[in-house]
Structure 1
Amino acid sequence: MKFFMFRRSNVLLAAVLLVLFSIGTASASKSMPSFSLPDVVTGDTVDSKVFEGKTLLITFFATWCPPCMQEVPDLISLQNAYGDKGFSVVALSVDQGGMGVVKKLVEKRSINYPVLLADSGTARDFGGVVGIPTSFLINSKGHVVKKYPGYVPHMILENDIKQIMN
């Protein structure tokens, strides 16, 4: 019986390590796709060129997605901590309900980073977003350095951001 428990715990440990080591894999040489999308608060079109020279965390999300909503406080915290150091979170909503639904969320949660309404082409251009949340860490040269499928703990995001900003 002890052998099976030991073996089961090893399998579980291996699975956890595999997930942790696979988080954030992306080709470091791929450039971030350009985009021009509406800001959900102002309605103004925001071009990706306004973010040139910044480290970015681009996150695809939806208002109806529980893990996406779980990330919001962490993203606000990261924006507060690094926003004046050349970093920005940029959230790309894939909501089908239009800008009004997303704008309400931005106001209710006091979101302090740009929230844009993505289209299907944007998700495709980023290499195919098959689930949400999906985030991409972009260095100041505009290269995708990490891809995070699913919810990512704050500590992992912050450590990765610190590493590429230094």
Structure 2
Amino acid sequence: MNRRDFIQATALGSLFTNTVLAADKPKPGKPDFTLQGVDVFGKKLDLRDYAGKTTLVSFFTFDCTVCTNDLKLMREFYVRNVSKKFVLIGVNIDQNKKDLDEYNEASTLAYPKSHRFPTVWRMAAGHQDSFGKITTTPTHFLLNAQHQLVLKREGPFRSDDWDNLWLSLS
């Protein structure tokens, strides 16, 4: 492929993704998103507590195999990069809390405490967030250290999303 074809293919490809383009990159100022609730262990969670950290907020359901795969990979990324001011927050959007409880029980048995990331149930009393209606599972929001949107992905994380995530840590 010559350079011209590559540039055209790249430009067309960017039109069909859900990523934030360079012209739309966040500017310093007020955070774009809020999230408050109680995690699966009863601990109060507020997105503001993670100010200064790159944050990946992932909306998922218990029975979604794509979600399970993405969260497995994101958990590995989280474990390797938590010391680099990175946090992963899972937001379960199942209608039935029993499904989240089963997920939580399985992950508590499967992973050591250092591999667990905060997870909340969106339907819980007192839960508030400004991420809007979620119509696709999974849906991921990558927020910079000021909690402004860097990337939104509806569906599975793509290889270039991992690049964006990695670059957001620097």
TM-score by length of 1: 0.76
The CA distance in 2 between the partners of 1:21 and 1:75, in whole Å, is: 24
Q: Could you say which residue in structure 1 is the equivalent of 2:102?
A: 101
In structure 2, the CA distance between the partners of 1:25 and 1:158, relative to structure 1 (3 Å rule), is same
The CA distance in 2 between the partners of 1:128 and 1:96, in whole Å, is: 14
Correspondence for 1:156 among 156, 160, 168 = 160
2:34 pairs with 1:34? yes
Q: Secondary structure at the match of 1:102?
A: helix
5+ residue gaps, structure 1, are 1-13
Give yes or no for contact 1:93–1:102 (8 Å, CA) kept in 2. no
The CA distance in 1 between the partners of 2:149 and 2:128, in whole Å, is: 14
5+ residue gaps, structure 2, are 1-8
Q: Trace 1:134-153 onto structure 2 (pairs within 5 A).
A: 134-153=139-158
RMSD: 2.6
For 2:85, give the aligned amino acid.
G
In structure 2, the CA distance between the partners of 1:28 and 1:126, relative to structure 1 (3 Å rule), is farther
Q: CA deviation at 1:138?
A: 0.3
Q: CA deviation at 1:31?
A: 3.1
Alpha-carbon displacement from aligned partner over 1:4-40 (angstroms, at most 9, x marks no partner): xxxxxxxxxx7xx637951423753383321211211
Q: Percent identity?
A: 22
Give yes or no for contact 2:92–2:120 (8 Å, CA) kept in 1. yes
Which segment is superposed worse, 59-68 or 91-100? 91-100
The CA distance in 1 between the partners of 2:34 and 2:144, in whole Å, is: 14
Correspondence for 1:22 among 14, 17, 27 = 17
For 1:64, give the aligned amino acid.
D
Correspondence for 1:131 among 136, 140, 151 = 136
**Number of aligned residue pairs:** 148
In structure 2, the CA distance between the partners of 1:71 and 1:20, relative to structure 1 (3 Å rule), is farther
Alpha-carbon displacement from aligned partner over 1:51-74 (angstroms, at most 9, x marks no partner): 111001110001111110111220
More helix by proportion, 1 or 2? Answer: 1
Give yes or no for contact 2:88–2:118 (8 Å, CA) kept in 1. yes
Give yes or no for contact 2:36–2:128 (8 Å, CA) kept in 1. no
For 2:154, give the aligned amino acid.
P
Q: Secondary structure at the match of 2:151?
A: strand
The CA distance in 2 between the partners of 1:31 and 1:24, in whole Å, is: 18
Alpha-carbon displacement from aligned partner over 1:77-101 (angstroms, at most 9, x marks no partner): 1101211100011110112221423
* Superposed structure 1 runs of 4+ greater than 4 Å apart: 120-123
Q: Could you say which residue in structure 2 is the equivalent of 1:11?
A: none
